Amino acid sequence: MAAGWNGDHVSRGIRKGGKISLEAFMENYDPGVLPNETYLLYEIKWSSSKRAWKNCCHNNLIEHAEIYFLEDVFKKQRSDPSDHCSITWYMSWSPCGDCCRAIRRFLKEQPNVNLVIYVARLYLHKEEHNRQGLQSLVNIGVSIRDMDLP
């Protein structure tokens, strides 16, 4: 997965307040286009709150968007470990095998978290490591679905 052109997870095509621009969305989520970046739009819903928290990020030169979400975004949002949490990701590329391993580890450490992933396209799906990574997520109950552009 190629990294973005700068070191910021929330800059290119992402407006203030976490909204992605239409241009960035079309460029990164159209399955007919093969961008270098991975965009991750996310929704976090805590059982103790009626309101979902929505935002987005993308990969940078240092880490993939999934890792940024798990290590930075989620940790900042988590207040009560016993609170159940549903997370939905809308990704321009599916997670690579290494990110799948990190997601599995995260979900093992966070038993009250449910994750659903929608992907616009599969990342290097012919590589066994990536296919096995996605299958390992499905095997532990993560729902991975193909995202329709509309």
pLDDT in tens, 88-100: 999 999 999 999 9
Across the range 76-103, mean pLDDT stands at 89
Out of 27, 37, 43, 66, pick the active-site residue: 66
pLDDT at position 59 over 70 = yes
| Share of residues in the chain with pLDDT > 70 (%) | 86
Say what the pTM is: 0.83
For domain 14-146, give the CATH superfamily.
Cytidine Deaminase, domain 2 (3.40.140.10)
CA distances from 139 to 6, 16, 64, 68, 133 (A): 35, 37, 23, 23, 10
- How many CB atoms are located within 10 Å of the residue 25 CB? 19
Q: How confident is the model at residue 18 (pLDDT cuts 50, 70, 90)?
A: low
CA distances from 135 to 100, 101, 121, 138, 145 (A): 9, 11, 15, 5, 12
- How many CB atoms are located within 10 Å of the residue 19 CB? 15
**Residue boundaries of the structural domains of the chain:** 14-146
3-state secondary structure of 115: strand
d(CA 129, CA 39): 21
Residue carrying structure tokens 């940078």: 60
3-state secondary structure of 18: coil
66 as an active site residue: the answer is yes
Nearest partner of 74 among 35, 15, 114, judged by Cα:
114
The burial class, CB within 10 Å (0-12 / 13-18 / 19+), for 69 is buried
Of 79 and 37, more confident? 37
pLDDT at position 3 over 50 = no
